[in-house]
Amino acid sequence: MVYFVSEARESKQLTDDSIEEIDKLIYQTAEQLKKLGNITHTKETDYGTGVRVIDYKSDHNKPEDL
């Protein structure tokens, strides 16, 4: 993604606002991946109809708990 944003920036194919939004998404995704990488316990939430979600944002998964 960073490569494509760089290309779009150089060729002026996207507005500065669009590039800024993409940069934010890249940062947010990186932060979520870090949190997923630091999971020590999996706490799942059941939303019914067979949909289960891993709670990677809760306090018990913070790196300082390691």
* Contact yes or no for 3/11 (Cβ under 8 A): no
Amino acid 65: pLDDT:
46
Amino acid 25: pLDDT:
93
Amino acid 27: pLDDT:
92
| pLDDT tens for each residue of the chain, 66 residues long | 888 888 888 898 888 899 899 999 999 999 988 888 887 877 788 888 888 887 777 655 555 544
Nearest alpha carbon to residue 58 among 50, 38, 47, 49: 38
Amino acid 24: pLDDT:
93
